[in-house]
Amino acid sequence: GWKDAINTTIINFNNEKMQITWKTKELFPNVNVSFFYTFDEGKHKVWKPCTTYLLDQGYNSGCLFKTEGPTLAISIRKSNGSEEVFLKKLKSDFYIKPNRPENVTFFWKEDTVTVSCNEPERAANCLRLELQYKSKFDEEWQSRTSKCCSVGEQGFDPRKCYSFRVRLMRLLHCNVVNYSSDWEAETFWMNGTLLDSCDDDITSQSNTVIVLSCSLAVLLMMLILLILLCKWQRVQMSVLPAIPDPKCLFTDLFNDHNGNLQEWLDKNDHVVLQTKLEYEEPESITEAESQQEDGKNSDTQRPLEKIFTFSGAAENNDGKAAQMACLIPASNTMASFGGFHTLRNDDMYMML
């Protein structure tokens, strides 16, 4: 009964190698034991000593040896091999742990992925292929299982990056212990494209966000500059008003008369008079009309002279020059040319 109480761990690696381990600290503290095994059946067994021991702090805690048949008997004895402390018979096929899947391939079609691998040479009907996957937004793995050696799943979002891993599982009716293979190396996929990691997708999205942010910032700055420019133009116009170019107002004076003011005045009496009347304030117009009425009674030959008389030209006998003088705004400086006198300010200039 004491021999059967020893707890051992038995693993048959793909029916190629056997590994038997025991807890040496609990069962055999500070004692080294010997391990023997045989695959022979019947009374005439040939026991083989372990050649590859597994150690735990210098003491034998397991043995690794080649699988040679379906039936196995193991024996643990004292260090000299004379006294047996543990004996057990078992079916090695009930402790098989399959190898990792080999030649794993991924086939993508729209939102469906099919994963397959090479079929093992032994007991493929006892195996199932398990697929696990998750996106960068999932905390837990999603699992799908199918018979060896192909499994498919649909509903994958092409905009997401997924992690995949696969392994082979041994069915319970074929094993005493539910052994599965180690996971095949994890792979990363996005819309059918193999990536080094899902961090590449995050980096790509980050770069896209950075580019868009910079573009929006540039557009915003251009808009702000445009608004400031418009406001600056308004401020500039209010603080520094544009000085009108008299050449534009008196184009015919320079083009048709070569700057000859007298000739231009003789030819444009009615224009000067009309312009003066349009820009003169109502009070000035009323005063001018009153002066015209008085002028008719006193002197009917020069009705316009009194209208256009102003300081600096009152003694001038040329009425046409007086008309021109009325068109010039109030100024601070006296200017004389050709016998005519006029006032000008800093916002005006003349070209003769």
- Answer yes or no: is 230 within a domain: no
Look at the chain and report how many structural domains it folds into.
2
135 in the same domain as 83: no
pLDDT of 236 above 70: no
CA nearest to 96, candidates 171, 30, 206: 171
> In terms of Cα–Cα distance, which of 102, 111, 104 is closest to 162?
111
In a domain, 201, yes or no: no
Q: What is the pLDDT of residue 309?
A: 40
Do 12 and 87 sit in the same domain of this protein? yes
Q: Please report the pLDDT score of residue 19 as a whole number.
A: 95
Q: Which of 97, 120, 144 is the last residue of a domain?
A: 97
Q: What is the pLDDT of residue 243?
A: 63
**Which two tokens mark 333?**
């400086």
Whether 70 and 17 map to the same domain: the answer is yes
Are 115 and 145 part of one and the same domain? Answer: yes
Cα 323 to Cα 327: distance, rounded to the nearest angstrom: 7
pLDDT of residue 208: 67
- Show Cβ contacts of residue 79 under 8 Å, excluding neighbours closer than 6 positions: 31, 32, 33, 34
Check which CATH number belongs to the domain holding 165 and give it. Answer: 2.60.40.10
Candidate from 32-41, 111-120, 277-286 with smallest mean pLDDT: 277-286
Which of 152, 168, 195 is the C-terminal boundary of a domain? Answer: 195
- Per the prediction, the chain carries an average pLDDT of 75
Residue 58 domain flag:
yes
Residue 93, in any domain of the structure: yes
Q: CA gyration radius for the chain?
A: 55
Cis omega (within 30 of 0) for bond into 230: no
pLDDT tens-digit readout, 185-210: 889 988 888 888 887 554 455 556 77
Question: For tokens 């990363």, what's the residue?
Answer: 188
Q: Is residue 140, in this structure, part of any structural domain at all?
A: yes
Q: Is the pLDDT of residue 43 over 60?
A: yes
Assess if residue 130 is contained within a domain: yes
Q: What confidence category does residue 39 fall into, taking pLDDT thresholds of 50, 70 and 90? A: very high
Kindly state whether residues 38 and 78 are assigned to the same domain. Answer: yes
Range 82-101 average pLDDT:
88
61/135 same-domain check: no
Residues 119 and 73 occupy one common structural domain: no
| Burial annotation 222-234 (CB, 10 A radius, 16+ → b, else e) | eeeeeeeeeeeee
Q: Strand locations in the chain, DSSP E?
A: 8-13, 17-22, 33-38, 48-49, 53-56, 59-66, 71-78, 84-91, 96-97, 105-109, 112-116, 127-135, 142-147, 150-154, 162-170, 187-190, 193-195, 333-337, 340-344
Round to whole Å and give the CA distance between 278 and 295.
21
- My answer on whether 92 and 12 are in the same domain is yes
Model's pTM, two decimal places?
Answer: 0.53
Asked whether residue 226 is assigned to any structural domain, the reply reads no
Residue 343's pLDDT is what?
Answer: 53
CB-based contact 188:197 (threshold 8 Å): yes
> For residue 172, what is the DSSP state?
G
- Is 59 contained in some domain? yes
More reliable by pLDDT, 65 or 308? 65
**Among 176, 195, 214, where does a domain finish?**
195
What is the separation, in whole angstroms, between the first and last Cα of the chain? 135
User: Do both 112 and 191 map to the same domain?
Assistant: yes
| Segments forming the whole domain that contains residue 118 | 105-195
* Alpha helices (H) in 240-257, listed in sequence order: 246-249, 251-255
